[in-house]
Amino acid sequence: MTTEERFERIESVTAGLTEERRKDREEYRQLWRDTQRQINDLTIKIADTNDAIAATNDAITRLADETQKSIARLAAETRAADQALRDRIEGLVSPIGQILPRPSA
């Protein structure tokens, strides 16, 4: 193999390596762009999920407050109905006791 042939071969190999490196660089750039796009998409999805969680927490807090108020209202209504029933029973028992004959001793 002559010196000229060796230089041609070296140039050929070098050109092949250069082309391969260029293709690798382009592939790496494309991978980087895809990765950045995926990161951006995930960031948006995470933000949306956080917003949904915050809205859900707000709804749960609101429903808990409403439930607590309803329980307090129902408890007050129940106590009032219970007292009204006691008063009614008391009102009936006393007159009945006066009507019934007393046992003789």
- Residue from 59, 79, 82 nearest 71 by CA: 79
Binned at pLDDT 50, 70 and 90, residue 105 comes out as low
Residues 78-88 pLDDT 10s? 999 999 999 99
Residues 54-69 pLDDT 10s? 999 999 999 999 999 9
What global pTM score does this model have? 0.57
- Residue from 21, 45, 22, 25 nearest 33 by CA: 25
Looking up tokens 């106590």 gives 79
Whole-number average pLDDT of the chain: 92
CA angle 87, 90, 96 (to 5 degrees): 145
